[in-house]
Amino acid sequence: PPQTPVRTVMNTIQQLIMILNTASDQPSETLITYFNNCTVNPKENILKRVQDIGCIFKEKFAQAVGQGCAEIGSQRFRLGVRLYYRVMESMLKSEEERLAIQNFSKLLNDNTFHKSLLACALEVVMATYSRTTSQHLDPGTDLSFPWILNVLNLKAFDFYKVIESFIKVETNLTREMIKHLERCEHRIMESLAWVSDSPLFDLIKQSKAREAAANLHESTCT
């Protein structure tokens, strides 16, 4: 059948539901094994973080769309958490294959990594459903990107870091959703990463310092 805008949206939702229908709201046995392999087990912090962010997300969602729609916020969050655990597992498998290690203690205890990954999963869910609701809401009820960054108090540059890996390991994302994440990437590169408190500036400073040290070393050798 011809691919109408409505058909495209329905396909994207169906695809998301198909991916997440059988997924769990809790970490899988495989993820638990990764957690147990860590020098410091991150499990309790991960569960608590998900719970805390869930409370904030549901509150902000209800504030934006009205208390009558609070249950929809809970459903969106539940889907986001399923996708978060699913992608985390795929990322760890991919990294295990690449690096031949099973201990990801530092990564799995990194708060920014988890917030970024959960934000990306939630953004996929929110973007999937956003086209089925009104597109002409006032700014106070606009839940499209970068709304999720404000909810999770996350820097755009940190969110940017997970996008490519997310697309790489979640092979069931629709073309529409990949395009959406790519648009988020572009917005971050073009403007959101360049705000005054962005971590990008620290990285540029570090990079310059390394370059200066290397130049000094080179001239000393000469």
Partner 1 sequence: EVLEYQFGLEEEGIRDLFDCD
Question: Which amino acid type is present at position 122?
Answer: L
Structure tokens at 37: 């392999």
Q: Least distance from C-beta 66 to partner 1, angstroms?
A: 34
Helix axes 111-130, 70-99, angle to 10 degrees: 130
Residue 141 CA to residue 196 CA, distance in Å, equals 26
Nearer to partner 1, 46 or 143 (CB): 46
Is 202 a residue that touches partner 1 (CB under 8 A)?
no
Which residue type sits at 193?
A: A
Nearer to partner 1, 76 or 180 (CB): 180
Which of residues 117 and 143 has its CB atom nearest to partner 1 in the complex? 117
Q: Using the rule CB under 8 A, is 133 a contact of partner 1?
A: no
147 contacts 158 by C-beta, under 8 angstroms: no
- Chain mean position to CA 161: 9
Please say which residue, 7 or 106, places its beta carbon nearer to partner 1: 106
| Residues contacting 153, CB < 8 A, separation 6+ | 115
Examine residue 154 and tell whether it contacts partner 1 (CB under 8 A).
no
How many chain residues are in contact with partner 1, going by CB under 8 A? 20
Q: Check residue 164 for interaction with partner 1 (CB under 8 A).
A: yes
Binding to partner 1 (CB under 8 A): which residues in 46-105?
91, 94-95, 98-99, 104
Rounded to whole angstroms, the Cα distance separating 120 from 14 reads 19
Contact residues for partner 1, defined by CB under 8 A: 91, 94-95, 98-99, 104, 106-107, 110, 112-113, 161-162, 164-165, 167-168, 178-179, 182
